[in-house]
Amino acid sequence: MHHALAHPEVISLAAGFVDQQTLPVEATLTAAEALLGDPQAGRAALQYGTTAGYLPLRAQVLERLLAADGLSQAETTASIDQVVVTAGSNELLHLLADTLFDPGDIVLCAAPSYFVFLGMATNLGVRSIGVEMDSDGMIPEAVEEQLALLERRGELPRVKALYVVSYFDNPSSVTLAKERRGRLVEIAQRWSKHHPIYVLEDAAYRQLRYDGDDLPSLRAYDAEGQTVIVTETFSKSFSPGIRVGWGVLPKALVGPVLEQKGNVDFGSPNFAQHLMARILDQGLFEPHVERLRTSYRGKLAAMLEAADEFLAPLPGVHWLRPHGGLYVWLQLPEEIDAGPSGRLLQAALDEGVLYVPGQYCYPGEGVPAKHNTIRLSFGVQSPERIRAGIEALARALARVME
């Protein structure tokens, strides 16, 4: 990042930011004027809120989750009391990690996984164990094998959760296949021999689908609602600056998480929550997401086209074609080290492009880090810059492969 800031001519395909040009200035102004134009509503928004968050917003996000999952209120055990609003879903992931884990506890994750979550786990003294994944996401059999191994070692009581980025994973771009969703929930339940093993479902990218049909969340496969924690955010789909995330928690976790949140800040900024509720109420959200999808769809196409043109000719370079999200995950020939100790990173910078070495996205144990991997993001740059960036990366790769 420091390098990118110091050399603005370098095309960064590294940061997972959202495209600044698409940020919803007009929609936010419309909602802010409506909210603050009504003195009573405005005062309520400028006052303290509650620790769990603004009730109408919690009702809206729950309703949207159920609608997206194709469930009626009668078909779910989820209630508004289980919805918690936070400053982005990251804060919620941190609160959950702080609540669920003691030092030495274990979380199972796909290898690779979201590196910020892995960092949080490490900082809390939690062991992250990487499980094999393929183009359909985390492999249920691999999860079972890992659990059986841990049981033989007497470490099963330390396993507290499975962490799954269920849509357009950061960094692997993979969406967990429909038939695996119920199976992962069932596995977590069946192995909850000592205490609950939760499935922590990070659905941050769910709204960013560019083709194909939406899938139900893992929460939809949790009939009793005691296993899956689902988290989502408006940071990617609307604005990271307003910064409203939320989750639906199993009943048993609501109290402990709110107690910790009360301890930290008594609840996330109330004004941002009222503003976000207004945006949803006034129908300003859907048209924005649709515009966003159109923009990112074009950028993803630009990256895949450039990859087909410039990377495909290089031997042993592979990637998946994502249906959403912000990332393309690149696998290189095994002998190429894309990390800071290899030659490619510097060669890429010399050619004018920056990427995230994939090795940073691997859990501390389990499947070992693959140094021949790269996370590319198409979120920030224009289609032209994306194409130029991929071309530069291909030049760097060709040099290193020589």
* Interface residue list for its own copies (CB under 8 A): 17-18, 20-21, 23-26, 28-29, 32-33, 36-37, 39, 42-49, 87-88, 90-91, 94, 116, 119-120, 123, 235, 239-243, 263-266, 268-272, 274
Question: Cβ of residue 3: shortest distance to its own copies, in angstroms?
Answer: 17
Q: Kindly write down the DSSP assignment for every residue of 95-114, as one continuous string.
A: HHHHHH--TT-EEEEESS--
Query: Which letter, b or e, does each residue of 84-95 get, where b requires 16 or more Cβ atoms within 10 Å of its Cβ?
Result: bbbbbbbbbbbb
For residue 95, the minimal CB distance to its own copies (Å) is 9
Which residues share a beta bridge with 233? 245
Integer Rg of the chain from CA: 21
- The token pair that represents 106 in the structure block: 């274990």
Nearer to its own copies, 20 or 341 (CB): 20
Closest CB to its own copies among 30 and 331?
Answer: 30
In whole angstroms, what is the distance from residue 102 CA to residue 99 CA?
A: 8
Least distance from C-beta 1 to its own copies, angstroms?
11
Say which residue the tokens 């009793």 belong to: 224
Decide whether 77 or 263 has the Cβ nearer to its own copies.
263
Query: Could you tell me if 124 and 153 are in contact, meaning their C-beta atoms sit under 8 angstroms apart?
Result: no
Q: Which is nearer to its own copies, 219 or 274 (CB)?
A: 274
Q: At what angle do helices 383-401 and 285-306 cross, to 10 degrees?
A: 30
CB nearer its own copies, residue 50 or residue 189: 50
Q: Identify residue 306 by its one-letter amino acid code.
A: A
- For the bound state, the minimum distance from the C-beta of residue 321 to its own copies, rounded and expressed in Å, comes to 27
CB of 344 to its own copies, least distance (A): 27
Instruction: Say whether 173 sits in a helix, a strand or coil.
Output: coil
Backbone conformation region of residue 377, classed left if phi is above 0, alpha if psi is from -120 to 50, else beta = beta
Tell me how far CA of residue 113 lies from CA of 7, 86, 110, 358, in angstroms: 29, 22, 5, 10
| The pair of three-digit structure tokens given for residue 186, joined into one six-digit string | 């069932």
The residue among 118 and 187 lying less far from its own copies, judged by its C-beta, is 118
> In 17-126, which ranges are E strands?
83-86, 106-110
Indicate the residue among 140 and 267 with the shorter CB distance to its own copies. 267
User: Residue 335's CB: how many other CB atoms inside 10 A?
Assistant: 11
- For its own copies, which is the closer residue by CB, 123 or 282? 123
CB of 349 to its own copies, least distance (A): 23
Which of 396, 250, 260, 254 shows the shortest CA–CA distance to 336?
396
> Min. distance of Cβ 125 from its own copies in angstroms?
13
Name the residue nearer to its own copies (CB basis): 42 or 383.
42
Q: How far is the CB of 193 from its own copies (least distance, A)?
A: 30
DSSP letters, 318-339, are EE---SBSSEEEEE--TT---S
- Which H/E stretch holds residue 127? strand 127-131
To its own copies, the closest distance from the beta carbon of 240 in angstroms equals 4
Return the number of the residue (139 or 264) whose C-beta is nearest its own copies: 264
Contact assessment for residue 152 and residue 145, using Cβ atoms and an 8 Å cutoff? no
Helix axes 55-68, 270-281, angle to 10 degrees: 50
Q: How far is the CB of 372 from its own copies (least distance, A)?
A: 28
